[in-house]
Structure 1
Amino acid sequence: MTDRTETFAKVAAEIEPFNKKGISLTDATTFAGDLEWDSLTVMDFVAAVEDAFDITITMNMQAEIETVGQLVDAVEKLKA
């Protein structure tokens, strides 16, 4: 398993408690459109991801991240 695949799996595990509709996740899954998250859910989720990976996601980065794949790529960069 590649590092990115492991990161995707870990991100997916963090999404699970917030995935009320049971959406099947891909790199193209959007947080606002597909998962229908509001800003409070996003903030709770970002905090969970930051804790899980021991990273900090800036507000500027958050504004640019719209899909699960973009988040996985950002986490990969921040872990490096």
Structure 2
Amino acid sequence: MQWTADEVHAEVVRLLEPFNPQSVDLQPETDLATDLGMDSVAAMNMVMEVEDRFEIDIPISLLPDVKTLQDLVDAVLAELSKKPAQ
């Protein structure tokens, strides 16, 4: 499946729902740790959900740079761009 940036954004927002118990309005600049109160365990669980959904692997070295919703969307798009077309 070819994902558009808007589709990736919408799907990432959907995947973040279980990690957003306070129903924070998710915007591109939403800070995953601060605004959602996500600790390292929750962050790893969320990353695994994202990887499973998009069938990608997000390098662990990239995770410190993933601070906002937009950072996460950008990381997913970058990894999807490396996958061969199906």
Q: TM-score, normalised by structure 2?
A: 0.88
Q: What is aligned with 2:84?
A: none
* Cα distance in 2 for residues equivalent to 1:58 and 1:78: 9
RMSD: 1.1
* Offset at residue 63 of structure 1 (A): 1.0
Q: What is aligned with 1:43?
A: 44
Identity of aligned residues (%): 35
Q: What is aligned with 1:14?
A: 15
Equivalent residues in 2 for 1:24-63, closer than 5 Å: 24-63=25-64
Q: What is aligned with 1:71?
A: 72
One-letter amino acid matched to 1:41: A
**Unpaired stretches in structure 2, ≥5 consecutive residues:** 82-86
One-letter amino acid matched to 1:79: L
* Cα distance in 2 for residues equivalent to 1:44 and 1:58: 14
Q: TM-score, normalised by structure 1?
A: 0.94
Aligned residues: 79
* Cα distance in 1 for residues equivalent to 2:67 and 2:36: 11
